[in-house]
A and B are shown apart, each in its own frame.
Chain A
Amino acid sequence: MNKNQLLLGDEAIALGALHAGLGGVYAYPGTPSTEITEYIQNHPLAGERGVHSRWCTNEKTAMEAALGLSYAGRRALVCMKHVGMNVCADAFVNAAITGVNGGVVVVAADDPGMHSSQNEQDSRFYGKFSMVPVLEPSNQQEAYDMMAPAFELSEQLRLPVLLRVVTRLAHSRANVSVGEACELRQLGVDKGNQWVLLPVNARRQYKSLIEKQPTLQAASEASAFNREEAGPCSGGLGVIACGIGYNYVRENENLPISGLLKVSQYPLPEEAVRRLAAQSSELMVVEDGQPVVEEGVKALLGSGYRVRGRLTGDLPRTGELNPDCVAQALGCPEREGAAEARQVVGRPPALCPGCGHRDVYAALHEVVAEYPEARIFGDIGCYTLGALPPFSALASCVDMGASITMAKGAADGGLFPAIAVIGDSTFTHSGMTGLLDAVNDGSNITVIISDNLTTAMTGGQDSAGTSKFEAICVGLGVAPEHVRVVVPLPKNMPEITRILREEINYQGVSVIIPRRECIQTLSRKLRQQKQKKES
């Protein structure tokens, strides 16, 4: 019997995957995807069945390990935020060429509106680019319901399936009717040579991927997740709504439209689009993210048919959709809201009081003042907040690991001092290879690995390199006497600033590791210990 559970979109995905006989989840934390893996880590069924759920070092290692699990005959889930798709793209795109054995579902959690991200890239492009099916749930229930069919589709087509969600689905709770778990899925180990992408095999496999495309198309046309709903005004405006865009349309009652096509499975169901176009005078595409479907529909129907959406300015070109902009685009009367307040100012996030990163920036602030040409290249994590007042310390923050490599490139161009600030988890994710480049080039840079023993920004997940950083840096070739460890506390300021000066003045690669546990994970640990004592 089904039972009702209040679940985040992320949790619905996790539970749906577990119930579909999942063998393992492979992921690197990233907002808004983190809670999928955490839910599996904490679920008793995952423990009982030995479902793999330990965090990976980055999205590429995650995707590759998932492929290995699939090769061995089990179902694998890979989770990441949208920019993680860029990191795993090599593995992801080629997984469409090798194909899969046990089902592989890749969850990309997009962040339209950039709540916690550096861009608004739309992962549906990766699905199109790789020529694999894409699913896009419209609500938490559908996210749960999609998981078993997603794995089945993956095994039937022998292709990875991409599940695309957005922040508002991932981080919103709703009632979900939950069924029973099916058995742990176990197929035989694969024996074919399609996994060996030598050109001779790859050419054959790529052809086979092309030949599968009509099957993907037919699956979309027949998909229960794509749905045509009739409207009251035949010959009027037809609406295509993708993923959660459907909710913003349905939020308005008695819409004067000819029909509504809900799209939650791709490739775009072209026959359904043609049917809607035939009964409408024009179409409106409501999709969160980039105008993927809008472009597709325009190409399908030709320049003679009017298609409205983000490209035409009917909906905003950037930012996430909301009920207001969709209602406006559909011509609904504006609601009279209360007058705005007069005295509200912005309240940006800030580093926590007592955070070790604060002491790192305080020390840098003091030392860098002595070098007017100094630049500090930042990276992705809590410490990116060092870009904001009162520190205003950072020259850049681009992608995971770019602090070290940008500092190296700037040093190549004669900039001195070139300083990189990177966190412990980001360093193992994508900083190590850049450090090796710098060592091999003898670049004159100072790298600060601000080690708080956790992946803090996403809520305190285990960090892959904890207790290994000195050994990693020395192993990569940094001179042992230029790998320095300090404890970032106000009382140690004289020592930290002295070491900073010494290492900046050293001609070559030096690494300073300020190490002190994240104040959030520390206080959580202390709370849990206290609770244990009391009970």
Chain B
Amino acid sequence: MKKDIILCGVGGQGILSIATVIGEAATQAGLQLKQAEVHGMSQRGGDVQSNLRLSTEPIYSDLIARGSADLIISMEPMEALRYVGYLAPGAWTVSSSEPFVNIPNYPDTDSLLAELKERQNVETLPIEALAREHQVPKSANMILLGMAAAHLEILSPEALRQAISAVFARKGEAIVAANLKAFDLGLNAAK
């Protein structure tokens, strides 16, 4: 079994934390993993993506081939659309529905969201607003991971919960609790 995942968003939105949690869970589960990250210049407010590959078999390429990704996890709706050409038939996209507008020519947001929603197998949530509403303002990315958990299959939600506890442990119990709460919010909303 394999899962090829594209994680994307805008530099600074916290996609690498999502990757770290999935990486921890995959390592604990004894899965093979490759995760190509973007460092350097594009982290300054540009588009960023990470190719995350999980498998029970050896993995060769660090990059995902077009037409073969199983899942897009996106912190931003236009960034989700940027990578749809990589999706395999029947694949899923989970995305924030909140545009991050830091460029002058950002498309009309209604029309952009309409395009995203008219595609197959797309789930969106206003994760930043939800995070604020539930007093976990810094854990929007874990809401998104919760939404994605329903489609990961190769890793159980419980394995991801344990990974969240392990990854955030050094930041203290309050932060672990906030991230777990956010994760469950996303997971339950997606069900």
Contact = CB atoms under 8 A, between A and B. Distances in A.
A382 B60 contact: no
Interface string B36-78: 1111111111110000000000011111111110000000001
A250 B32 CA distance: 16
A244 B62 CA distance: 9
Interface size class of B (residues with CB under 8 A): 35 or more
Contacts of A338: 67, 84-89, 91, 119
A248 B79 CA distance: 26
A344 B36 contact: no
A395 to B, nearest CB: 20
Interface in B94-141: 102-107, 111-112, 115-116, 119
A345 B60 CA distance: 31
B85 A535 contact: no
A171 interface: yes
Nearest to A345: B105
Nearest to B171: A531
Interface size class of A (residues with CB under 8 A): 35 or more
A421 B36 CA distance: 33
B23 A115 contact: no
Nearest to B41: A116
Contact of B27 (A175, A327, A346, A350): A175
A200 to B, nearest CB: 46
A337 B46 contact: no
B40 A32 contact: yes
A390 to B, nearest CB: 8
Nearest to B10: A347
B42 A115 contact: yes
Contact of A173 (B11, B34, B40): B34
A116 B46 CA distance: 12
B71 to A, nearest CB: 12
Contacts of B115: 341-343
A352 B46 CA distance: 10
A336 B69 CA distance: 11
Given A174-B35, A337-B86, A6 B40 contact: no
16 contacts: A6-B33, A32-B40, A172-B34, A324-B66, A334-B67, A335-B88, A336-B89, A337-B86, A338-B87, A339-B84, A341-B81, A343-B78, A349-B45, A350-B45, A352-B45, A457-B40
Interface of A: 4, 6, 8, 31-32, 34-35, 115-116, 168-169, 171-175, 244, 246-248, 250-251, 322-324, 327, 334-352, 382, 385, 389, 457-459, 531, 534-535
Query: Lowest 9 CB-CB distances: which A-B pairs, in order?
Result: A337-B67, A335-B67, A349-B46, A341-B81, A116-B40, A31-B40, A247-B60, A323-B65, A172-B62
